[in-house]
Amino acid sequence: MTPIDYINDNFDRIKEDYKELLAIPSISTDPAYAHDVLRAANWLAAKMREIGLMPELIAMPEGRHPVVMGTWDGAGPDAKTVLIYCHYDVQPASIEDGWHTEPFTPTEVGDRIYARGATDSKIHVMANLSAVEALLANGGCPVNIKLVFEGEEESGGETISALVDQHPERMRADICVISDGSILAPEQPSIIYGLRGIVTMELHIDGPQADLHSGHWGGAVHNPAQALAEIIAKLHNDDGSVAVPGFYDDVRALDDSEREAMRANTDWLAEEYGTLVNPPTEWGEPGYSIHERTGARPTLEINGISGGYTGAGFKTVLPSHAMAKISCRLVPDQDPEDIIRKVSGYIAQLTPPTVRSRITDLDYGRPALLLAREGSAIQAAAAAYETAWGKPVIFERAGGSVPIAYDLEKISQDMALLSFSYKGGGAHSINEHALVPMLYKGIITAITFLQAIAE
C-alpha cells in the first residue's frame, strides 16, 4: 500500500485521534492547567510508541512543560535527518468569551472542527504524526526522523531553548521543519519565509495612594486612567505610524521586486480583512499594502488595558492605578533590546510630573527572521504543497512570531515552515477551528515533503 492509500483508509480514525487530543485543555500559560499539559504530553508519547518512534518526555528547566520527542533512525547513518517541530500547548479559552461551543469539546460542523488548539496548532501535530505513521507502516521513511513537540510555545518556550543550547547532539538534524502558522487561504498554499519578532511589556501608571472619590477630588488630581490614555495616544502618529523616536531607524527596506510580489498578493488578505474588521476601513502606515503592514513593517499594539472600576453599575472612583499590556512586532533588522529601550525611554519622557509610570514584565522576545527562499527545505516544501493542493505556492512574509525558529536556526538554516491552518481559523480568538480538508492535505504534504527532501 502507498502511504497515501494508507491515509485514505485511516483518515476517519486519524480525525478521531485529533479530537481526542483537542479535548485535552493543554493551556501552558495558566499554572492551573499544568496537569492537562502533562496529560497531552503522555497522550503524544503513547501515540509515538504505537507508530514506531522512540518517545521521550524532556522537562528542563525544572517545573516547565515537557517537550515530547519521538526519534526514528531506521533510514540509516547515511540518510538525512529531518527534525519536525510542532507545539501541543494552546492559548486560554472559555465559553464566556463568546464561543458558540465549549472550547475543549471538539465539535464537527460541516467540514470544520471547532476547538481551542484546532488550528493553533494541534492540526500540525496530527498531520506530521500521521505522515510519519503512514511512511513507517508502508516500507519505512527515506529520512531519519526527530519529531519535537513543544508544550510551552504560548508561554515562553524555555525548555526547548535550553534543550537546543545544552544538548545540541540530541537535536542535531540536517533539515528543520517548523509546522505551525497558517497558509494564505484554504485553497491557496503559501510558504512563509519571513517572521516578525516580538517584545512585550506592561505599562503601569500610578497616581493617588488609593482610589479616591471622584466627587471629592475630581478636577484636582491627574486621573491615572486618563494619564495612561494620554500616553498611549502619543505612541502612534495620526497617520497610524509608530511615534516612538527612532522606532523605524533599523528597519531593513524591502527591495522593489519583493515589494511588488507582496503587493500582488494582498487580495487574500483584503478579502479576509473584510470579514473580520468592521467597518473594513483600512488603517495603518501610509504607503504600504496590508501584506506589507502585517509582514514587513513593525508595530506597537495595546493587547490589554485596565484601571478603576469596570464591573456592573457605577463606582465614581478616581482610580489610583491603570495598566496597559503592550507588544511590538519587529522586522529585520530591529533589535529587541534597542526597541524596548526606545519605547520605555519615550514613555518615561511622555510621563507628566503628576503621575508615575513603571514598565514591568519586560520580555525581550526575539528579533525577526528571514529565510532564504532557495534553500532545499523551502524548495521541497513548495513541491509538496503543489502535489497536495494542485497549485503553486505563494511566498509570504508573516506577521506573527515563531519563537522556535531562532532556536532551530542554530541546528540548521536549511529550514522551512509547513502550515496547514488558515488565517480565518480563529487562532488566539474565539470559535477557533480547523478545516478537515486541510488536515487531509496537510498529511499528504508532510508525506510528500519527507519523500522529496530525501533526494
What residues numbered 410-449 form the site for its own copies, per CB under 8 A? 423, 426-431
Q: How far is CA 173 from the centre of its chain?
A: 23
Helical ranges in 143-213 per DSSP H: 158-166, 168-171
Closest CB 20 distance from its own copies, rounded Å: 26
Closest CB 410 distance from its own copies, rounded Å: 22
Only one of the segments 8-16, 18-26, 212-220, 382-390 lies at the binding site for its own copies (rule: CB under 8 A); that segment is 212-220
- State the Cα–Cα distance between residues 83 and 414, nearest whole angstrom: 11
Q: Looking up cell 492535505, which residue turns up?
A: 441
- State the Cα–Cα distance between residues 31 and 3, nearest whole angstrom: 40
Closest CB 38 distance from its own copies, rounded Å: 18
Q: Closer CB to its own copies, residue 20 or residue 97? A: 97
Could you count the other beta carbons within 10 Å of the beta carbon of residue 61?
A: 10
Q: Closer CB to its own copies, residue 173 or residue 184? A: 184
Query: Applying CB under 8 A, does 188 fall inside the site for its own copies?
Result: no
Query: Applying CB under 8 A, does 75 fall inside the site for its own copies?
Result: no
- State the Cα–Cα distance between residues 310 and 325, nearest whole angstrom: 17
Q: Which of 284, 358, 376, 454 touches its own copies (CB under 8 A)? A: 284
Between CA 435 and CA 438, with CA 437 as vertex, the angle to 5 degrees is 65
Q: Looking up cell 510558504, which residue turns up?
A: 191
Closest CB 428 distance from its own copies, rounded Å: 4
Q: Which of 166, 349, 354, 413 touches its own copies (CB under 8 A)? A: 354
Only one of the segments 81-89, 186-194, 346-354, 388-396 lies at the binding site for its own copies (rule: CB under 8 A); that segment is 346-354
Query: Applying CB under 8 A, does 308 fall inside the site for its own copies?
Result: yes
Closest CB 270 distance from its own copies, rounded Å: 10
List the x/- string, 359-398, binding to its own copies by CB under 8 A.
Answer: --x-x----------------------------------x
- Say whether 144 sits in a helix, a strand or coil: strand
Q: Closer CB to its own copies, residue 3 or residue 319? A: 319
Query: Applying CB under 8 A, does 112 fall inside the site for its own copies?
Result: no
- State the Cα–Cα distance between residues 224 and 84, nearest whole angstrom: 48
Task: Determine the length of the chain.
Answer: 455
What residues numbered 41-70 form the site for its own copies, per CB under 8 A? none
Closest CB 227 distance from its own copies, rounded Å: 9
As given in the structure block, the three cell numbers for residue 439 are 488536515
CB 88 within 8 A of CB 44: yes
Could you count the other beta carbons within 10 Å of the beta carbon of residue 70?
A: 24
What residues numbered 391-410 form the site for its own copies, per CB under 8 A? 398-401
Q: Which of 314, 360, 374, 455 touches its own copies (CB under 8 A)? A: 314
Termini Cα distance of the chain: 21
